[in-house]
């Protein structure tokens, strides 16, 4: 089961950024996860697997995807396929 990540999660990575902060906010979800450093606002993209290895802990969670079951976009595109 892959690590659950939500937008606006704050995560602490094992290795601090050179700016001194080890905490990052999740700003983009996908095959690559976008993270923004809370110390210097720098953005990075990390492959999900790479991020899973680097996360030490969650500092706080963003919005839990309670509506994930009823995602209209996914249902719609599935219905249109052939």
Using CB under 5 A, list all residues that contact Zn ion. Answer: 17, 19, 37, 39-40
Buried b (16+ CB within 10 A) or exposed e, 38-77: beeeeeeebeeeebeebbeebeeebeeeeeeeeeeeeeee
Q: How far is the CB of 68 from Zn ion (least distance, A)?
A: 31
Q: How far is the CB of 62 from Zn ion (least distance, A)?
A: 19
Place of tokens 């939500």: 6
Q: How far is the CB of 28 from Zn ion (least distance, A)?
A: 17
Rank residues 19 and 64 by Cβ distance to Zn ion and give the closer one.
19
């Amino acid at each position: 089961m892959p690590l659950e990540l939500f937008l606006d999660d704050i995560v602490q990575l094992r290795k601090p950024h050179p700016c001194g902060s080890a905490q990052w906010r999740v700003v983009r979800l996908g095959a690559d996860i976008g993270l923004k450093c809370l110390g210097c606002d720098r953005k990075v993209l990390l492959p999900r697997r790479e991020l899973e290895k680097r996360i030490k802990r969650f500092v706080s969670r963003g919005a839990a995807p309670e509506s994930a079951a009823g995602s209209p976009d996914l249902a719609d595109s599935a219905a249109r396929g052939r």
